[in-house]
Structures are given as C-alpha cells and as structure tokens.
Structure 1
Amino acid sequence: MEGFLKPYQVEQIKKKYTVGTKIQLDHMDGERDMPDGLSGEIKFVDDQGQLHMKWQNGRTLALVPNVDSFHILREAENENDKCPDGCIQVLVVEPHKNPYVSTVRNDYRAMQELVGGCIEFVPLSELNCHLYCNDEGKLNGLTGNRRMDNGDIICGTFFICTDDGEGNDTSLSNEQITYFSNHFHEPEFYSNTEAHSFAMEVGYADSKEEFLRMLGIVPEADENDFER
C-alpha cells in the first residue's frame, strides 16, 4: 500500500470487509507458512485499512489491501467450514506451485479428477496423514512434483488428507495444514529422466525368494504355511 489512506478510503474498506467476513488468500510475498489458498476470518479493520485476521493455520498476520492478493469467500465457496456434500479439507500440491488448501468430495471419482487419473494411496510418516497421487504418473509422463522420504519423485498433482482411525478419509487439522504447507512449500524441478525413474535400496537377501519379498513382488510367508 503506497502512502497513507485517506479517512474516506479506510471507511470504504471497513464497509466492504466487515468483522467475520471469510477471506481466501491468493498470494502473500515473503511468508513461507501463508500458502496460496489459505482461508481465514476478519477480526477487525484498523484505522490504516489493514485487515486483521484469524487464519486457518493459527496465524494472525494482517492483510494489506493493494499489496496482498486475496478475495472474499462467498457462500458457495466457503467449503472449508461447511464441506458440503461429503467434502473433506485437503492440501493440494501441484508441480512447480506452492501448496494450497482446498476441498474435495470424499469419493473416488472426485479424487481421481483432482489427480487426473487412478489414485494411489501413499502413507506419510508424519502426523498420521497420507496422500493420494496419480497411480500412473510416471508411465504417463506427468511433470515431476516433489521427492518423498524414500527418494521417489511423485509425478503430477497430489493431495494430502488424514483418516478417522477406521480407514475413512477426513479433513486435515490446522496443525497438519501448517506442517505440510511448510514441508512442501518450495516447488521442485526435475528432468524427465530423473522424475520418471525410481531407485530403491534393498538389503542383503539370503535367497531369491527373500529378495522378491523385499521388493514386494511376493507376499511375506505366513507361519501357518510351514510344517510343524
């Protein structure tokens, strides 16, 4: 915001952005944990025209009109609170972009549409979360997105959610949103060769059968299969 606003300009802002108005952030420069798509609620507007917020991730950073990019969440857009029609709140991570909060219907068709194909479940080691990505991302030549802890690179868009302890997908908490927004904040860039290959470390195996079990090609032997 260049210079100081005149009193009538501040009054216009206060009339437009009333207390309790839902806001979605389009972009804020210089703040790693304020991802595009984050939503929040206006607590008050000060005498300089800054919007003081309560953000979904727990932050209270003020918005500065004409500096920060944001928009009012209309009734139909305000899915983060209502999640209509069985929607859940997720964190979407697209190639070459910062993560953003969104909602998706809690069914396979909607999830497949979001990742652009058949979905693959990938467990995450942090905060009891998991992600869904395109099962054929590498085969279909999708753009390399982010590298996982095991060294694999996920290709194409993926999204993160959690579950209720009984295998049912549910919305992320504010803590989980903040953690994974930071974890995947920086876009990553990979060549096609690097993104579409996968190397896996396998320890020493005493036999061919054990080696295949390490790769997950054959199931682990059940103790009931052995003679007593």
Structure 2
Amino acid sequence: MRCCVFRRPSQDRPQCRLSRRGRSARTLRRHDCPASDTGHGPTSAGAGTILLEFVDAVAGLDTIVLAVGAGGMFSGIAAVADHFGIRVVGTEPDGSRALNAALAAGTVLDVDVDSIAADSLGAPRVSAAALAWAEATDVRSVVVDDEAIVRARRQLWERHRLVVEHGSATGLAALATRASQPRDSERIGVVLCGANTDPSDLVD
C-alpha cells in the first residue's frame, strides 16, 4: 500500500478556513443534515472542511477513511462526501464500536468501552445524526482490534515520522489489516490527528 502524506499548508489563513467552513455548512443545510437536531451542527460543519481540503488537494478522491467516536466529525464528513460522491469508511476499535453496533441494531444504543483508543473514541453511544447519515449514504462500518491500532500508529511514526493518536490510527489499521479492502486503483484519503497522544511511547 503506497502512502502519500499531505499537511495543511502553513499559509492556510483563518479567512481560508472560515471560507471552507461556510462551504461545508451550506452542504449540510442543502442536504438537511440531521446533525443540527442533536447539537452537532457547528461541529459537523467544521469537520466537513476536512473533506473539502482533501477534495482541493487530491484529484479524483474515491474514498475517505476516518475513525468514529460520538459522530460529530463523521456526520460532517459524511454530508460533504455524499455531495461529492465520495465513499465513506467509518472505523472503530473492537472495544468501542458505537456506530457499528447501532447500524447492526438499527437504532442508537449504549456499548461497553474498553480500548486503547478510548481517550478519543470512547463514546458509549453514537449520535442519532451519525446513524442517520450512515444509514442514508453508502457508508461502510469496520472494526479493528487494539493490536492493529498500535501497529498502525507505530508504522506512521517509523515510516513517515507522523505522531498520531491511537484513535486516528484506527483508519490506517483498517486498511493495513484489510478490514477495509480497497478496489483496484482506488484513491483513498485517511484522516489523521495527533492531538490526544503522548509521543514518548513511540521512542524505543
């Protein structure tokens, strides 16, 4: 699997970010996003700008892979992805699978949380908005175990010198373990974040 990393450019000024958030908010309104009904509206609109950056940077993007917690970021990205015809793969740890369980049950429900990625993905239930988007669009939900998450996080450090939280490494883990299997010539983006992490455990 070939990996190409792009980062938000240093000249990314606040007005540019506001412009993207406006585009994302309009997409959410145009699609009558249910996120606004559960308090995720501003969060989802802001998160939707992540995919707008991918669209601007990667021509012909087919699929976006992201980790799912309570569903605020997921709802925004799913709305924008639906607008652009981009497939979404939502990934979760096996020990914190709120979206996966809700999809299986057809309703939001509480789940037990026991995962190394619980600091960022440890929501006991996914939002109704996230479930609605997952059911209404072509979203695939996959789960991976903690060992795969740890390996993916270390791989990002050793190969690319990227420090990410365990939660966002869940997306790469889904690809590395083939829990999510790319199609031939599929162009895939993976959302990564390094906020909730301690880089000291990456140093031998």
| Same fold at TM > 0.5 | no
TM-score by length of 2: 0.24
Higher strand share: 1
Report 1 or 2 for greater relative contact order, CA contacts < 8 Å, sequence distance ≥ 6: 2
Name the structure where helix makes up a greater proportion of residues.
2
Length-normalised TM-score, structure 1: 0.23
In our comparison, the structure showing a higher alpha carbon Rg is 1
